[in-house]
Amino acid sequence: MNLKFENKGETMVCRIDGDVDINTSPSIKKLFDKALAKKAAKMVVNLQGVNYVDSSGLATLVEILKNMRQYGGKLKLSNLSPKIKSLFDITKLDKLFEIASDEEEAIASFI
């Protein structure tokens, strides 16, 4: 699992490569906590490199979204594979998260 944070204008972009599961969730949470300490107003999480997400991974993503909303930040997900998108649809998390087809669309959709 690898995370890369990059600023694109006013938006912080995080690209995740690898599984988001019970083994990687604690590391992901720590890295996001450090990034969110800067109180990024806009963040896109690019999941193009993610092939597997388990319930622990979903819980971690929900917690990151909750933490951002507490200070008024906005989080969007992008580049979900059909398998991962289906997981969000089945769990109804597609109603909680804003999901864009690609990173550029997600960045452009911030108002």
What pLDDT is stored for residue 110 in this prediction? 93
Which tokens in the block code for residue 66? 């909750």
What structural domains does the chain harbor? 2-108 (3.30.750.24)
How far lies 100's CA from each of 18, 39, 97, 105, 110, in Å?
A: 20, 22, 10, 6, 11
pTM of the model: 0.95
Note the maximum CA span of the chain.
35
What pLDDT is stored for residue 50 in this prediction? 98
Q: Could you read off the pLDDT of 55-108 as tens digits, one per residue?
A: 999 999 999 999 999 999 999 999 999 999 999 999 999 999 999 999 999 999
pLDDT at 111 exceeding the cut of 90: no
Amino acid at 73: G
CB 101 within 8 A of CB 71: no
> Look-up: residue for tokens 């930040």?
73
Q: Could you read off the pLDDT of 32-63 as tens digits, one per residue?
A: 999 899 899 999 999 999 999 999 999 999 99
